[in-house]
């Protein structure tokens, strides 16, 4: 049996649109979105332990080991399966925190998928998604492992075929706490419910590109609170239709080719970090669950 898994990708996601359609009695927001996987992400490494201990072996600034979603995910899977195995987890952190691209959630999902394989626990994808929801609303999507039209709090997922594209993603000089945006009284919480058919009918699927469908309801609030986010949105919108992803801060635009995205990136001011990345159709560890 394999005892080591190295270079396990934890890809980021973009929200092609994000509508807040209501608020549940428990305080969670109901939303609709389309999640797009991209090939930019963190990279995780796992060593199986036979003593049952679970440790993160490298430091992540401002993220204590016991609160790290990867450690929590590993312990949840361990408790769910009763396995006697443990793991040492190393995270090569490449995604910015507070960027709205699902970095921590993706790390947790990669941990569940990788350890399900490494420990040979054979938990189904559906059950892994149930475990994942306890860690955060975005985590089940990464376990689902395909681009998806999502509802509920983000856990109701339906696969959607999206055209291959390249994206320019700009990282403003700001971190946006999700809870701050969700708790803002000015946040729109009554956007009309749509269907995946609406989404595909207006712009097509593989034949078209939904770059202007809907909006991100969180964008106005984030841009008002964080001038850097507003500045990036204004700048990028001159070049291509731009949108903030998630609760922010990252801003993206879609391009039909890598060359077109790189041409736009060459114009990005030097004080902003930017990445050109390609769309993915499936999570790189998709085969680790069934």
**Token couple for 165:** 């594209």
Residues 6+ apart with CB under 8 A from 227: none
Residues 6+ apart with CB under 8 A from 260: 166
- Residue (of 83, 67, 147) closest to 115 by Cα position: 83
Instruction: Clarify whether 138 is annotated catalytic.
Output: yes
Active-site option among 42, 68, 107, 138: 138
What beta strand segments (E) does 24-174 contain?
A: 29-49, 54-56, 86-92, 148-151, 156-159, 166-171
Residue whose structure tokens are 């189904």? 124
Q: Would you report the helix, strand and coil content of the chain in percent, each value rounded to 5? A: 30, 30, 40
Measured distance between the N- and C-terminal CA atoms of the chain, rounded to whole angstroms: 19
Question: 18 - beta bridge partners?
Answer: 33, 216
Active-site option among 7, 13, 68, 231: 13
Q: How far apart are CA 118 and CA 274, in angstroms?
A: 34
Residues 6+ apart with CB under 8 A from 162: 16, 34, 36, 147, 205, 206, 210, 279, 281
Q: How far apart are CA 92 and CA 97, in angstroms?
A: 13
Q: Which residues are catalytic?
A: 13, 138
């Amino acid at each position: 049996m394999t005892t080591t898994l190295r270079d396990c990708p934890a890809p980021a996601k973009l929200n092609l649109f994000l509508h807040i359609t209501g608020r549940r009695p428990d305080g969670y927001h109901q939303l609709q979105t389309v999640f797009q996987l991209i090939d930019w992400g963190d990279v995780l490494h796992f060593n199986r332990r036979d003593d049952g201990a679970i440790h993160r072996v490298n430091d992540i600034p401002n993220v204590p080991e016991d609160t790290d979603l990867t450690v929590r995910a590993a312990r949840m899977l361990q408790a769910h399966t009763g396995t006697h195995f443990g793991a040492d987890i190393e995270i090569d952190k490449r995604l910015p925190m507070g960027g709205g691209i699902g970095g921590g959630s993706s790390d947790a999902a990669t941990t569940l998928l990788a350890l399900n394989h490494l420990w040979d626990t054979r938990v189904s994808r559906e059950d892994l998604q149930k475990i994942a929801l306890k860690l955060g609303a975005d985590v089940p999507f990464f376990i689902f492992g395909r681009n998806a039209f999502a509802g509920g709090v983000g856990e109701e997922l339906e696969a959607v075929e999206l055209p291959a594209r390249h994206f320019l993603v700009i990282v403003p000089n700001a971190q946006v706490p999700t809870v701050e945006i969700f708790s803002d009284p000015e946040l729109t919480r009554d956007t009309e419910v749509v269907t995946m058919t609406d989404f595909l009918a207006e712009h097509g699927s593989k034949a078209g590109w939904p770059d202007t469908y809907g909006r991100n309801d969180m964008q106005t609030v984030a841009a008002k609170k964080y001038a850097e986010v507003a500045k990036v949105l204004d700048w990028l919108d001159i070049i291509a239709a731009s949108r903030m992803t998630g609760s922010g801060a990252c801003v993206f635009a879609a391009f039909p080719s890598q060359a077109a995205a790189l041409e736009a990136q060459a114009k990005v001011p030097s004080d902003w970090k930017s990445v050109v990345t390609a769309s993915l159709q499936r999570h790189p560890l998709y085969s680790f669950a069934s």
